[in-house]
Structures are given as C-alpha cells and as structure tokens.
Structure 1
C-alpha cells in the first residue's frame, strides 16, 4: 500500500546497469581525436580552381595575426614562429608582416616586391670552429628594420659536407614565417681538377620557386682576373651579370660583387660581403648586403638572392678552412 500524498520513486537499478547506461550516453572514443594540420587552405582561387591557392604556400592567417604570447608580469608581447623557437625568457625575432598574395608572382616572393635591400646573416657555429667538423650552413635573412624575412637551411649529409668541403653539392631550403618552403637552391657537383676554362669545371646553381619549378640559374664564367657569373632565366638566357673584385680574400675591407646588365654597362645593384673582424677572419659567420632596384622583376631579385649563396660557398667558406689548417 502506498500512502496518500507520497511521491512515487523510481526503483533502484543495479550498479552495473547504471554504468552501462552512462557508457551508452557518453560515446567518446578511447583514442585521442585527430589533430588538425597547421596547413590551411588558401583564399579562393580563380575560376577553374575551386580549391584556392596551394595549401603549402598560403594561409588565411597573417603573421601579424599569429599568436602573441604575453610575458609574465608585464605588458610587453613577443611574436615568434610556432615550433621554431623554444619558450624562454629571450625575446624571439620579429617577422616581417606577410604581404598580400599577388598574381604573376611565385608564392613566397611577395616579400621581395616591397624590398630593395636585404641582409643575409650566417649563423656562427662554435663547434665547427673548434673541431673543424663541417656542419650545415644556416642563414637569417632580414630587412632594414631588422625583421626576419626568410630562414635558409642547408640540407647536405655529413659525409658529403666533410669530404668535398666547399666543392660539395648542396640543397638550400628557404622558408618563410610559417615554416613553409618557398624556394629551393640546388648546386650539382662539379670537379675542379680539370682546366678552369673547361665548361664541366664551372660551378652552377639552379633556383626553384616554388620548389620543383625552375625560375633560373646562376652560372660561373671563366675569367683570369676576377669572379664572373651570369644570372639566367629558366631558358638559360643571360639576363644579368655578376662581376666580383680582383681579390675576394681581402682582410679588413668589404668585397663587392656588382650586378650589371648583360653588356656589363648599366649598374643594377650589388652583393657586398661585409667585413666583420675576427668573425670574418676565423669563422664561417658571413654577413652579406644585397641591393637591387625596388621595381626589378621579382624573379630576378630571387636570382640575385640565390647568387649570394653560391658566392659564399665558393670564396668565403675557404677562409675558415685555411685558418684551421694553419
């Protein structure tokens, strides 16, 4: 008998039954959810390309919109590339704001359209100086405001680097603020044992932007008195010439490589290897300044930028090796 006014209650269920009911209501999987890739599809592309621009080159996030991390106990904020710099008390480098994507411009070269001067700074490697073991070269590329534009990393195995030294074939990978590779530079092996005037002994480097698509070549030309190169387009047609000083091993002064028109008359710009005192004399820590006209074709700007690295490997990597042998 149930007394009048009593509230009916639900009969108690066994503990095992309650657990089974909770499991049915909570269908979460045992495995962790899949994490989304940091690559994001780009803005809508032109007609016939519903997928937009390639995912590996563009992201809807601008560098200025990337996460800003608050320093403890203050209002100062720092910005850095995710995954590239550890969280520490040191302020990370500031990146140049990403320009708007442009038509008829290889992805990633939009930065160069806004610049007429860039600085290429090679990382100093103390282990290489002390032991003589050749390591992969690393470079920071900055603008006049000391903002990072690119990072350049050499991708060569240990045996090749230390067996062939400055003659080694190499691959240089250029990445931008989001860590995406926007340019690749490849130098094949060329033997220097034969006559210097032989074409097979002349050094050459291919520049690809984006990786896999050749935009030009930097080719050495034999000259008895000075370093001479030609900057060629993808069809290997001469577009610009590079003329170095009579002596590239100057101690105490800068080495200037002039960029001129194919006829060698008009001066277009220059690649200057700055003298940095003991770092220039004893270690691989070169500093290059590159000047070109602001309105120069962006592909030719990229080719002048690439010529800087072939010059570095051919002439300024040797200084540290001679000092180590001494």
Structure 2
C-alpha cells in the first residue's frame, strides 16, 4: 500500500529516524535459496538500536535476471513501515556490465535512485572510478555531492579471510571528515559458509537531516548489493 503524503515532505513514519543514530539491516534467510541455490528475491528487516523492527524491505526484480545475471540485475526495493505502507523506494536499472573499479564511473556505472515518499527524489548513490577498492558517492536531488564511501579492496567475509566486521566509512567529499559508518557484521563461520544473508550496522549523527539519513540507508543497500555481486563471482 503506497502512502499518500504531501510531496514536499517525508512520510510520518520516517520521522522515527530523527532521533536515531544507528540502524541495523538484516537480510532474511530464504530456505529455498539455501537448499537449491536458486536466487530468490531478497527481503530485509530494518531495526533500531534495541533490535525492534521499524521497517521492512522487499526486492522486486526479474526472475530471469536473478537467475542468469544476478550481479547485473535491475531491481526496486520497497521499504514499508509496520503498517505495510510504502514509505521509501530504491531502484537500480539493469546494466550489461558489473562496473569494475576501472569503469564504475563510466558506461558501467551503477546508480541507485532513492525516493521518499514514492515520486519525491531524495537523491542518488553512484559508483565511481577507482584503482582497486569499490568507490561510491552520494548525491542529493539537485546532484550536489554530499558524501563519499570507500570500501575495502576485499569486502568478502569467510573463515579464511577474516572473522571481524568490515567497515565502510562515510565521509564528506573531501575525505577529511567521517560522518558515519556502514559495517558488514561478521555472522559466524556457519552462517558465512552456508548462506549469503548478510547483516549491516549503519551509524550516523543523531542530528543528521532526515533526507541524509534516508540516503545513508540507500548507500548501505548499495554496499549490500555490490558485496552480493562479488560473493557470487
């Protein structure tokens, strides 16, 4: 159910983000995917610091794209509140190339559009060129560069690589001030080995604007889908 609100403002349920300085994003484990390897539509719970669910996210995407080119697939992520009202929509178009570090800002650039409510563009998260590590930039609706994210060269987690959280700092465009962090949470050896259902912890200043917090959540999902692509390669 799409929520009807004035186009100039965010949905009332999004106002709950105003006092928060941390949210967690937990992907639901899909048993069909675990047992068969068939790529299903992702689902996520967005939780507050007390691990109470405040939002639910479900992917809408083509079965064909998920099965035959999961790394390149286009999708829409529908974020609903606990009353099943859609409050935020994130969308990415299909690309014929994955956007490696060398061409992630060119023809292979991935762009995630963030709307809140649906029809009101809050901003975009775009991949950008780099030498080895994933590089993303966050822009507002007027295409002003707000934040930059640099992920580690190897964002995968496994018992051999690492047994710790992987951090993706959120900085200002000059890279001099850290304004937040996206941490891919280590889930333990068994979960890392048998399922790709990841968990993330996103931190930001409590006094950050609501639009910026929504964009940071969008950036966390961009990190999630880029990590998913690399884990499947």
- Both structures adopt the same fold (TM-score exceeding 0.5): yes
Question: Secondary structure in 2 aligned to 1:305?
Answer: helix
Tell me the residue number matched to 2:192. Answer: 280
User: 5+ residue gaps in structure 2?
Assistant: none
When the two chains are superposed, the root-mean-square deviation of aligned CA atoms in Å is 2.2
Higher relative contact order (CA 8 A, sep 6+): 2
Tell me the residue number matched to 2:107. Answer: 200
Return structure 1 stretches of 4+ with deviation > 6 angstroms: none
Q: Judge conservation of contact 1:169–1:186 (CA < 8 Å) in 2.
A: yes
CA drift of 1:226 comes to 1.4
1:152/1:205 CA distance change after superposition, 3 Å: same
Tell me the residue number matched to 2:38. Answer: 133
Tell me the residue number matched to 1:261. Answer: 172
TM-score by length of 1: 0.65
Deviations 1:238-279 (A, max 9, x none): 011111122212432211110001100001010000011222
Q: Which has the larger radius of gyration?
A: 1
1:190/1:250 CA distance change after superposition, 3 Å: same
User: 5+ residue gaps in structure 1?
Assistant: 1-38, 40-54, 59-103
Q: Judge conservation of contact 2:3–2:117 (CA < 8 Å) in 1.
A: no
Tell me the residue number matched to 1:106. Answer: 10
- Within-5 A mapping of 1:221-300: 221-251=128-158, 252-277=163-188, 278-300=190-212
- Within-5 A mapping of 1:91-240: 105-107=9-11, 108-192=13-97, 196-197=102-103, 199-240=106-147
Q: Judge conservation of contact 2:88–2:115 (CA < 8 Å) in 1.
A: yes
Deviations 1:282-303 (A, max 9, x none): 3121110000000001111000
1:282/1:263 CA distance change after superposition, 3 Å: same
TM-score by length of 2: 0.89
Tell me the residue number matched to 1:22. Answer: none
Which of the two has greater strand per residue?
A: 2
Deviations 1:89-122 (A, max 9, x none): xxxxxxxxxxxxxxx7411320110210000000
